[in-house]
Structure 1
Amino acid sequence: MNDDAEPRLPGWLDLALTIVMALAAVGTAWAGFQSAKWSGLQAISFAEAGAARTESAKAATDAGQDRLKDLVAFTSWIGALQEEIIAGTTPRPAGDYAPNPDEVSGFLYERFRPEFKPAVDAWVATQPMVNPNAPATPFEMPEYRLESEALAADLVAKAEAATAEAHEDNQRSDNYVFMAVILALALFFAGVAGRTRTRRSQWLLSGAAFATFIGAAVVILTLPKTF
């Protein structure tokens, strides 16, 4: 017997390492597939976030324009109403204002935006002409709500949620890449185990192969999956 001959692995251990190598190869392919899928979902989520932010900016611009329209309309109406009160053609509102279509103030009042008119009505009901505790303008009333402003806020929330989802997808992709590296180590340990010159090295490398493979397999089984 040649003392320099490399010790052979027991048959059962050689078979176990072969199975580990086969499963590790399959696991590596699976991890690569999952990583690519999660990377694709990450790109989709980032695209959705960008689209939502663009739409949010547009809605915010619309809200600013609507607010400016309301401000100009209110300023024109209150100016015309004051002139008519001074001229005696329109009575001073005391909580029961009724627009006079024959006067400029009535003409302007009837052309308030539908979103703005409820706030003006609620403001007039507080008797601002005689009540010093009334809000200064309808813009301070809870009835003053802009649909475009609410839409902008909703879109911002949607964009933030999509961005958070993209970051989660990116982390999932990274986790699968890391598991692929661990499985590659299991393949390396299993492949080298049968080529070492000492029995101790064979057992150590075999143990390392089993440990890294089992650890990676357990983690992969717990990771979220997509198809």
Structure 2
Amino acid sequence: MTEPATPSTPTRSLFNDRLELIVAILLGLVSIATAYASFQSALYDGKMTQNYTIGSNKATEAESLYLEGNQQYVQDSQLINQLTDLSIDSESSDPAIAASAQAKYDTIYFQSVSPELESAIQWADAQNEADPELWYSPLDNEDYLDHLFGGYQDLKAEADAVIQEGDGFNDLSDRLTLNTVLMAIALFLLGVAAVVRATRTKLILGGVAVAIFLTAAILTAFIPFVGLG
């Protein structure tokens, strides 16, 4: 006569019940952590997009300022050449030519020379007088160049800084996405562990899942929290 199957011991049954409870709790914790990492990744994506948009707009505005400054620089360069020619003609031995050239020089100077260019011309005249061996152009004056291109340089620096910050947000978002994937793998393993009946298999799957989750959780903890807004 066949002996009836020996029922599981109360201790083993209690252990399995507790193990299933632990797996269920871990499933909840990993689910919450996965949602958090995914949400943070989305927020960093939003900040990245915002920074890229602002940086791109600033870069476009800076380029516009550069083109405007460069156009003025070309016009001033042509003006300086014209004034130089008239200045030479004003020293002509022919009084009529000299007087006509001087009159044109004075008129053009009054109508077309900006205060910044005038200061640059005065600076160049002083430098050329102090150092006759070299020729100084008004267009090389630092204050004059800063007037034309200073706004471009400042705005371009702002644009580069904003875009660089956006690159940082993108890097953090990518790291959070990777951590989310790792947590999803841990969730899958815990889900399998919750349904298998073999205790050994349940322990192995749960242990691997916990190891993966802890790795992802630690990596996520080192990423600064970003709030809404």
1:104-151 CA distances to partner (integer Å, 9 max, x unpaired)?
3233333411221111101111345x9542324222333432424122
The structure 2 residue matched to 1:37, chosen from 38, 43, 58, is 43
Paired residues of 1:115 and 1:146 also in contact (CA < 8 A) = no
Displacement of 1:50 in angstroms is 1.4
Q: Shift of residue 55 of structure 1?
A: 0.7
Q: Which residue of 1 aligns with 2:121?
A: 120
Q: How does 1:190-201 map to 2 (within 5 A)?
A: 190-201=190-201
Residue of structure 1 equivalent to 2:176:
176
Q: Which residue of 2 aligns with 1:149?
A: 149
Letter in 1 for 2:78: V
The residue aligned with 1:133 is 133
Q: Which letter maps to 1:26?
A: I
1:57 aligns with 2:63: yes
**1:164-205 superposed Cα distances (whole Å, 9 cap, x missing partner):** 222221221122221111111221222222433433212111
Partner in structure 2 of residue 94 of structure 1: none
- The one-letter amino acid of 1:133's match is E
Aligned residue pairs, count: 213
Asked whether the 8 Å contact 1:31–1:180 carries over to 2, the reply is: yes
TM-score, with structure 2 as normaliser: 0.81
| d(CA) in 1 for partners of 2:141, 2:122 | 10
The gaps in structure 1 that reach 5 residues or longer are: 90-101
Aligned 8 A contact 1:21 1:191 in 2: yes
Superposed displacement of residue 12, structure 1:
3.3
- Separation (CA, whole Å) in 1 of partners of 2:135 and 2:16: 90
Structure 1 letter corresponding to 2:140 = E
Distance 1:200 1:16, change over 3 A: same
Query: Could you tell me the TM-score, scaled by structure 1's length?
Result: 0.81
* 1:85-100 alignment runs, 5 A limit: 85-87=91-93
Distance in 2 of aligned mates of 1:143 and 1:106: 24
- The aligned amino acid for 2:117 is F
Over the residues paired in the alignment, what is the CA RMSD in angstroms?
2.6
Q: C-alpha separation between the residues in 1 aligned to 2:165 and 2:127?
A: 47
Give, in angstroms, the shift of residue 13 of structure 1.
2.7
Which amino acid in the other structure matches residue 83 of structure 2? W
Query: How far, CA to CA, are the matches of 1:19 and 1:204 in structure 2?
Result: 17
Quote the Cα distance in structure 1 between the aligned partners of 2:183 and 2:175. Answer: 12
Corresponding residue number in structure 1 for 2:98: none
Aligned with residue 80 of structure 1, among 86, 101, 106: 86
Structure 2 CA distance for partners of 1:50 and 1:147, relative to 1, 3 Å = same
Partner SS state of residue 145, structure 1: helix
Could you list the per-position Cα deviations for residues 69-121 of structure 1 after superposition, in whole angstroms to 9, with x for gaps in the alignment? 211221222222211112477xxxxxxxxxxxx83323333341122111110
